[in-house]
Copies of this chain bind each other. A is one copy, B any other.
Amino acid sequence: MKIIRASIIGFGSVGQGVAQVLLQKKEEIQKKGFDLKVVAVADSRSAAIDEKGLDLEKVLKSKKENGRVGSETLSGLEVIRNVEHEVVIETTPTDIETGGVGLDNMLTAFEKGMDVVTSNKGPLALKYGELAEAAQKNNAKFRFEATVGGAMPAINLIRDTIAGNSIISIEGILNGTCNYILTRMMEEHASYEQMLAESQELGIAETDPTYDVEGIDAACKLVILANYVFGMKATYHDVDVKGITSITPEALSLAQSEGYVIKQIGEVKDGCIQTSPRLVPESHPLAVGGTLNVVSVQTDLAGTVTSTGRGAGSIETASAILSDLISIYRED
């Protein structure tokens, strides 16, 4: 059986999720005609390397007990440069201002002709064109389903499932925290502040919720879709963003009395990218509740195709990474 050697660069919640999923899905992967051997894992201060394949249970245990994956002091970038393998699973923390270490990691991998599968939005929201070009030039595969809404199918839905269609526009709910807060405000006739506090207590919103509630996270995902699907050269600064902080329970009640809900909808259409609160009919496929994400793609042949799923979570994000890995290497 074909053996694919991989590294996991970045070992926070998503990287650890990937390790757990790869342990759990060893047989499932082999059924697709290949074996995935993780030869290196790097976090921000250490690395574990074994060219015969790491014991991922040990690496997970070391991370949990010692806060580091191993005894090596190589950085992720050095692992990519010096350890022989075929695919980099890039799961370092996202940095939407500079692209962070992720950007260098990906570019270096492509220069070496290695494939990259990533959940890291920052580098793609800033430099998608450069990354895609580097991948193509070096005949490397580049997959990033996990960057747009975790386990909700978006990128590969467009690439594979409805392949051959021309895409006219894309709209959707691309941030689960905003969706949760708006859904709960409507259910409880409560204020934004009350439901933000609830979602912080539940761990759905961060202590500093700006990134989510001001629409920045959704803007990054829209930029990735815009650049991938329409070949735009946008960054998240090009997105017209309006967040949910000024929505009132009265506005939600009024909408509801007319058969509508208010949802934070992002859209890519006619070269414009925007995200803002909008009225959506209750029976519309975009009107999903809770923390769900949803994306609706308007096409020339298939009409409108909509997909809904969990937009966050370490295992959900790892699921998208697993599907990307299978899509590159499957032999069945």
Number of copies: 2
Q: A32-B163, A161-B160, A283-B282 are in contact. Are A302 and B310 (CB under 8 A)?
A: yes
Distance (whole angstroms) from the CB of A115 to the closest CB of chain B: 14
Contact flags A300-332 to B (C-beta < 8 A → 1, else 0)? 011111111110010110111011011100100
Residues of B within 8 A of A145 (CB): 161
Contact flags A68-97 to B (C-beta < 8 A → 1, else 0)? 000000000000000000000000000000
The size of the chain A interface, using a CB distance under 8 A, is 52
Interface positions, chain A 136-171, Cβ under 8 Å from B, are: 145, 151-153, 156-157, 160-166
Q: A157-B157, A283-B282, A287-B283 are in contact. Are A164 and B302 (CB under 8 A)?
A: no
Of B25, B161, B183, B319, the contact of A156 (CB 8 Å cutoff): B161
**Cα–Cα distance between A145 and B330 once the two chains are bound (Å):** 19
Q: Does A8 contact B (CB under 8 A)?
A: no
Find out whether the CB atom of B287 lies under 8 angstroms from the CB atom of A162.
no
Find out whether the CB atom of B25 lies under 8 angstroms from the CB atom of A151.
no
A145 (CB) vs chain B CBs: closest residue: B161
**Cα–Cα distance between A32 and B159 once the two chains are bound (Å):** 11
Q: Does A261 contact B (CB under 8 A)?
A: yes
Distance (whole angstroms) from the CB of A282 to the closest CB of chain B: 6
Find out whether the CB atom of B330 lies under 8 angstroms from the CB atom of A315.
no
Residues of B within 8 A of A183 (CB): 283
**Cα–Cα distance between A301 and B24 once the two chains are bound (Å):** 10
Residues of B within 8 A of A152 (CB): 305
| Sample of 13 more A-B contacts, CB < 8 Å, known A282-B282, A283-B287, A308-B308 | A32-B164, A153-B153, A153-B157, A156-B160, A157-B157, A163-B322, A163-B330, A164-B326, A282-B283, A299-B319, A303-B313, A303-B316, A306-B309
Nearest 8 interchain pairs by C-beta: A151-B302, A301-B319, A164-B322, A306-B308, A283-B289, A163-B326, A153-B161, A302-B319
29 contacts across the A-B interface (CB closer than 8 A): A21-B164, A28-B164, A32-B164, A151-B162, A151-B301, A151-B305, A153-B161, A153-B305, A156-B161, A160-B161, A161-B161, A162-B319, A162-B323, A163-B327, A165-B319, A183-B283, A283-B287, A283-B289, A285-B285, A285-B294, A299-B319, A301-B322, A302-B309, A302-B316, A303-B313, A304-B310, A306-B308, A306-B309, A307-B307
